[in-house]
Structure formats: C-alpha cells, structure tokens
Amino acid sequence: AQSVTQLGSHVSVSEGALVLLRCNYSSSVPPYLFWYVQYPNQGLQLLLKYTTGATLVKGINGFEAEFKKSETSFHLTKPSAHMSDAAEYFCAVSRAAGNKLTFGGGTRVLVKP
C-alpha cells in the first residue's frame, strides 16, 4: 500500500520569502510523485512530477521539487512567494504512469503582503 504525509496543513509565508512544503511517502515500488495545486472551488492543476531520471524536477510558476529516495521525501519549494501562490497544495504518489493516485492531506498556503 502507498501513503503520503504532508507536514503542516497550513503554512503562512511573507511575499518574497521562501516557500517550503514537505511531503513524505511510503511505497513498496519505485514511486511516481506529483505535486498539484488547487485554487478555491476549482479542480487540481499539475505543478510538477517525478517519474524517472533527474531527481530535481522543475515545474510551472517557479516551483521545483527534489526526490530523495533515502529520505522518502519529495518536498516542494519556491524561492520567492507571490500573492498568487495562495492556494492548497497536494502531494501524490502512484505505482506507475497512469495509475490511481494516493494523495496527502494537503497544505494550504497563505501569502502575507
């Protein structure tokens, strides 16, 4: 079975500060890892994904994440927060491309001016 843990259900950052969202997973097979963003009353939009290859993955809107197998982590970062980054972020894992996703509980990001 797979599981995902996101540390911190709410994160508050100042505009221009570093955004760091933590994600740890458990998987019995090499995982496929994803970060999605959700704006209020909307569906989920893919930020970035890790399947194979380079462990540092760059996504949209200036976000990136690093797959660390030894730490079973896939933390999401952005060097400088923007007001438009206020949203809820979900980390997810699957066993293979196109397989069902298991999501973490989500982290809601608040950006302060």
Partner 1 sequence: SQTIHQWPATLVQPVGSPLSLECTVEGTSNPNLYWYRQAAGRGLQLLFYSIGIDQISSEVPQNLSASRPQDRQFILSSKKLLLSDSGFYLCAWTNRETEAFFGQGTRLTVV
Question: Rule CB under 8 A: is residue 45 a binding residue for partner 1?
Answer: yes
Question: Rule CB under 8 A: is residue 44 a binding residue for partner 1?
Answer: yes
Give the residue with the Cβ less far from partner 1, 17 or 49.
Answer: 49
Residue that the structure tokens 């709410």 belong to: 10
Give the residue with the Cβ less far from partner 1, 20 or 39.
Answer: 39
Q: Distance between CA 111 and CA 55 in Å, rounded?
A: 28
Q: Is 105 left (phi over 0), alpha (psi -120 to 50) or beta?
A: alpha
Neighbouring residues of 98: CB distance < 8 A, sequence distance ≥ 6: none
Question: Rule CB under 8 A: is residue 98 a binding residue for partner 1?
Answer: yes
Question: Rule CB under 8 A: is residue 53 a binding residue for partner 1?
Answer: no
Question: Rule CB under 8 A: is residue 93 a binding residue for partner 1?
Answer: no
Helices then strands, each counted (H, E), the chain: 0, 11
Q: Between the CA atoms of 60, 94, 106 and 68, what dihedral angle is there, to the nearest 10 degrees? A: -70
Give the residue with the Cβ less far from partner 1, 17 or 86.
Answer: 86
Question: Rule CB under 8 A: is residue 41 a binding residue for partner 1?
Answer: yes
Give the residue with the Cβ less far from partner 1, 73 or 102.
Answer: 102
Question: Rule CB under 8 A: is residue 66 a binding residue for partner 1?
Answer: no
